[in-house]
Amino acid sequence: MDNRLNELRRKISTLRLEMLDMEASIRDLVNDDRDCTESSLRLMGMRQELTALVREWALLGGGDRLPTIQERLRENHRPLQKRKARPKPQPRPHAKRKVEKRRLVARR
């Protein structure tokens, strides 16, 4: 049973990657003002296949919660960057005169 679940998970993840590639190619075709009917039909077939795999996966007891599209888009896949060390501030030369605070006074 576990082997079948793992196999379905693998198929689902590879199918998702193929779908992402297909979506990118469709986007390129649309941007170049070319016909993308064939690619779109293939993508719709992939979506149907994905739906069937997910349904089968759930029937076999797949308990992982699958993220929605919005959740997947919000995920941060950027590598963590180390913060740059700040240079130590230079000591300021002492001011010789004291700066007075200006006070605003209403005119009559």
Indicate the domain borders of the chain.
3-60
Write down the pLDDT at residue 60.
Answer: 83
What DSSP designation does 64 have? S
Per-residue tokens: 82: 């180390």
What is the mean pLDDT of the segment spanning 84-107? 70
Contact 5, 53 (CB under 8 A): no
Distant-in-sequence, close-in-space partners of 11: CB < 8 Å, separation ≥ 6: 53
What is the C-alpha to C-alpha distance for residues 22 and 42, in angstroms, rounded to an integer? 8
Over the stretch 21-75, which tens digit does the pLDDT of each residue have? 999 999 999 999 999 999 999 999 999 999 999 888 888 887 666 677 787 777 7
Write down the pLDDT at residue 64.
Answer: 66
pTM greater than 0.75 (yes/no): no
pLDDT over threshold 70, residue 79:
yes
